[in-house]
């Protein structure tokens, strides 16, 4: 506040106000021990324009348009495909496949419930559509990947990219304009036995109950295979081998086979979770049962041409199976009958069931039960070394270490608690159906490697946090190189090099609000984090960096023995040898 003679500042934050007061006195800026962004907000509050300009310059010096050492690449926003003029029949609402919604200002699309397919569009239908959330047609909604291909879904079209060691990422395919807003996508970059050999790729996109499928060749040409209807909203869309699978929580499963060119819809119990393992599709249902379908054989009952759905296990408490994770042990490829399944229930229970070779006839047996969650389990992951579960209480995570003997889970000493933490992630109040699939927190990664969560704290942000799924430790932080909002993300491993000995690298792909895609090298981030842990251990135990190597007792000529220890120091990596000898009395 100000009087006639003097200005009086109200000290809101002593730590941040001290540099401001020092600047007013000396015109010098001391940034030690204070955040630049916090100091800038305080300076803006007090209206000290010269200080605000200096702090903005400091922030610009720290920010690089080329990103940090983790930044790997940038794909510019694609050109929007031209919208095809609608035919008279489509305009009258007689087509059940096209469901255009009214456009808002600047091309933004309002999404709402589609009109009934048997009725023409009416003014009332437009009023209902206006109740839905507004979708920006320029931003990336979902990113999916398979092998060295990724597909990015925008509101009304999809773009496919492929990476090659020599040329990097290249755009391969762009779909025509779609009149509906995409909510789910799936990609199969290796179709075996297709009409063009093994060079076919397939991309599918779903909106509400409709699914459109394209076939893409390496040259970039694409053909529309067809438009299929599940009859109910599609919740999950993915490929199992050559089969495109769509599931709905209402209890329907749709399967399209690339060889037979056949679309099949099957009614089952209402589905609350699903997972895949090899050629098997496992369904967790609200009646407490786990069902499976062998997709490799595409089994159809001869009498009614229905899918062969088999009950695998029933929960002892009859709770809904809200999360599923299947782990195929190395022994599975040999014996073919060892399988481990972890699942979570609506009551918060976490159970592990195991199919032993000696119990093939009687089905899986209950192995372990954990009742540590008080909310329904939303995610679960069983890997080689850890069991990770997430519940609906603000993404509360519990983890356990898994003991294995010859690759198979063991009871000695059994699974032990490891960590408890939360992956706080706020969602939009009125989000489009694509938001959940495009902003899935994970865990991501191979089951025999370290897996990570991706944390997006608030919906509108340009920053993501990468955390270990086992302990919750923060691995790194990524921030958009151009300052744009991150609208979706995905983690994939890509084989960028065909040279012998080269390993796939793990990347974080972020879709931006302006339509671009940015890539981040998580392999480097994981390596740096592991090196940091090693340095901490070495600093904590300086005399036990590489351990001591003790030679076996070697008898001497005088019936004594000689023990030789080699210690390696931390800083200079010098070998210090000490030899101690003793002889028997």
Tens digit of each residue's pLDDT (9 = 90 or more) over 23-54: 888 888 887 778 787 888 888 887 888 888 88
CA dihedral of 297, 197, 213, 80, whole degrees rounded to 10:
150
Burial of 406 (0-12, 13-18, 19+ CB in 10 A): exposed
Query: Would you say domain 14-62 falls under CATH 3.30.565.10?
Result: no
Instruction: Give buried/exposed letters for 5-38 (b at 16+ CB in 10 A, else e).
Output: eeeeeeeeeeebbebbeebeeeeebeeeebebee
Q: d(Cα 207, Cα 183) in Å, to the nearest integer? A: 5
Q: Is 400 helix (H, G, I), strand (E, B) or coil?
A: strand
Question: CA gyration radius for the chain?
Answer: 29
DSSP assignment letter at 66: T
Angle 226-274-148 (CA atoms, 0-180°, nearest 5)?
60
- What dihedral angle (degrees, nearest 10) is formed by the CA atoms of 293, 299, 303, 309? 0
| Beta carbons of 161 and 148 less than 8 angstroms apart | no
**What confidence score (pLDDT) does residue 565 get?**
34
**What size, in residues, is the chain?**
585
DSSP per-residue letters across 441-469: ---BS-TTS--EEEE--SSS-SEEEEEET
The stretches of 504-560 forming alpha helices (DSSP H) are 522-540
- What does the buried/exposed string (b/e) look like for 137-168 if buried means 16 or more CB atoms within 10 Å of the residue's CB? bbbbbbbbbbbbbbbbbbbbbbbbbbbeeeee
Q: How far apart are CA 131 and CA 300, in angstroms?
A: 42
Q: What is the pairing mode between strands 252-257 and 243-248? A: antiparallel
Taking 70 as the pLDDT cut, the residues of the chain under it are: 1-13, 61-65, 85-132, 193-199, 298-306, 330-337, 358-361, 496-502, 536-585
| Tokens (6 digits) for 550 | 């003790």
**Per-residue tokens: 448:** 């025999």
> Which CA distances in Å does 211 have to 79, 256, 262?
23, 11, 14
Q: pLDDT value at position 501?
A: 58
HSE, side-chain direction, 13 A CA sphere, residue 122: 7
The enclosing H or E element of 262 equals strand 262-267
Calpha distance 328→272 (Å, rounded): 22
Q: Which of 525, 538, 533 is nearest to 573 (CA)?
A: 538
Q: Which residues pair with 226 in a beta bridge?
A: 213
Q: What is the DSSP letter of 296?
A: T
Tokens of residue 361, six digits: 């006839």
Helix (H, G, I), strand (E, B) or coil at 203: strand
Predicted TM-score of the model (pTM): 0.77
pLDDT tens digit string along 93-138?
A: 333 344 433 334 345 555 544 443 333 333 334 434 445 677 888 9
Distance CA 548, CA 567 (A): 5
Alpha-carbon gap, residue 338 to 313, rounded angstroms? 15
Intervals of CATH 3.30.710.10 along the chain:
14-62
Query: ∠ CA(347), CA(349), CA(352), 5° rounding?
Result: 145
Q: If DSSP codes are grouped into helix, strand and coil, which group holds residue 158?
A: strand
For residue 581, CA distances in Å to 230, 255, 415, 501 come to 80, 75, 44, 45
Residue 462: which of 449, 445, 481 has the closest Cα?
481
For position 502, what pLDDT does the model report? 66
What's the pLDDT at 90? Answer: 43
Output the CA–CA distances (angstroms, integers) from residue 234 to 210, 249, 304, 471, in the order listed. Answer: 8, 8, 24, 34
Cα distance between residue 174 and residue 152, in whole Å: 10
Measure the CA–CA gap between 86 and 112, rounded to whole angstroms.
20
């Amino acid at each position: 506040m100000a009087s006639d003679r003097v200005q009086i500042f109200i000290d809101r934050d002593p730590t941040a106000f001290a540099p401001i007061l020092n600047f007013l006195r000396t015109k010098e800026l001391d940034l030690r021990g204070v955040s630049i962004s916090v100091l800038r907000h305080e300076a803006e509050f007090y209206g000290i324009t010269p200080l605000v300009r200096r702090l903005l310059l400091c922030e610009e010096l720290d920010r690089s348009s080329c990103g940090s050492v983790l930044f790997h690449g940038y794909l510019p926003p694609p050109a929007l495909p031209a919208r095809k003029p609608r035919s008279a029949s489509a305009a009258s609402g007689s087509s059940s496949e096209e469901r255009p919604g009214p456009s808002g200002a600047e091309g933004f699309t309002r999404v709402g419930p589609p009109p009934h397919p048997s009725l023409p569009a009416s003014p009332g239908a437009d009023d209902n559509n206006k109740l839905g959330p507004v979708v920006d047609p320029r931003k990336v909604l979902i990113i999916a990947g398979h092998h060295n291909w990724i597909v990015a879904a925008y509101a009304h079209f999809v773009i496919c990219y492929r990476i090659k060691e020599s040329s990097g990422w290249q755009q391969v395919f762009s779909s025509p304009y779609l009149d509906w807003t995409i909510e789910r996508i799936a990609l199969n970059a290796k179709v075996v036995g297709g009409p063009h050999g093994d060079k076919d790729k397939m991309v599918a996109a779903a909106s509400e109950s409709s699914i459109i499928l394209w076939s893409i060749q390496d040259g970039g040409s694409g053909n529309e295979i067809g438009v299929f209807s599940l009859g109910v909203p599609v919740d999950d869309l993915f490929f199992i081998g050559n089969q495109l699978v769509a599931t709905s929580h209402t209890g329907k499963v749709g399967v399209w086979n690339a060889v037979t060119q056949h679309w099949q819809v099957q009614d089952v119990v209402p589905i609350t979770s699903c997972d895949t393992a090899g050629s098997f599709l496992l369904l967790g249902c609200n009646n407490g049962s786990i069902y499976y379908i062998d997709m490799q054989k595409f089994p159809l009952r001869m009498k009614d041409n229905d899918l062969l759905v088999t009950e695998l296990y029933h929960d002892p408490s009859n709770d809904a199976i809200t999360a599923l994770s299947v782990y195929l042990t190395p022994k599975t490829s040999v014996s073919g009958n060892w399988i481990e399944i972890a699942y979570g229930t609506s009551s918060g229970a976490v159970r592990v069931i195991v199919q032993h070779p000696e119990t093939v006839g009687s089905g899986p047996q209950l192995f372990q039960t954990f009742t540590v969650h008080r909310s329904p389990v939303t995610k679960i992951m069983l890997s080689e070394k850890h069991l990770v579960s997430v519940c609906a209480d603000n993404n509360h995570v519990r983890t356990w270490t898994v003991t294995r003997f010859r690759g198979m889970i063991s009871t000695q000493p059994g699974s032990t608690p490891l960590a408890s933490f939360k992956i706080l992630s706020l969602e939009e109040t009125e989000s489009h159906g694509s938001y959940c699939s495009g902003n899935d927190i994970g865990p991501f990664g191979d089951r025999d490697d370290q897996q990570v969560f991706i944390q997006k704290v608030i919906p509108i942000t340009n920053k993501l946090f990468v955390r270990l799924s086992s302990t919750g430790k923060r691995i790194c932080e990524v921030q958009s190189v151009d300052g744009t909002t991150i609208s979706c993300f995905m983690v994939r491993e890509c084989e960028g090099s065909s040279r012998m000995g080269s390993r796939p690298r793990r990347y974080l792909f972020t879709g931006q609000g302006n339509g671009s895609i940015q890539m981040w090298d998580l392999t480097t981030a994981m390596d740096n984090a592991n090196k940091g842990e090693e340095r901490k251990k070495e600093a904590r135990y300086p005399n036990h960096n590489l351990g001591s190597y003790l030679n076996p007792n070697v008898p001497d000529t005088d019936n004594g023995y000689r023990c030789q220890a080699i210690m390696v120091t931390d800083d200079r990596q010098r070998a210090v040898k000490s030899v101690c000898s003793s002889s028997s009395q």
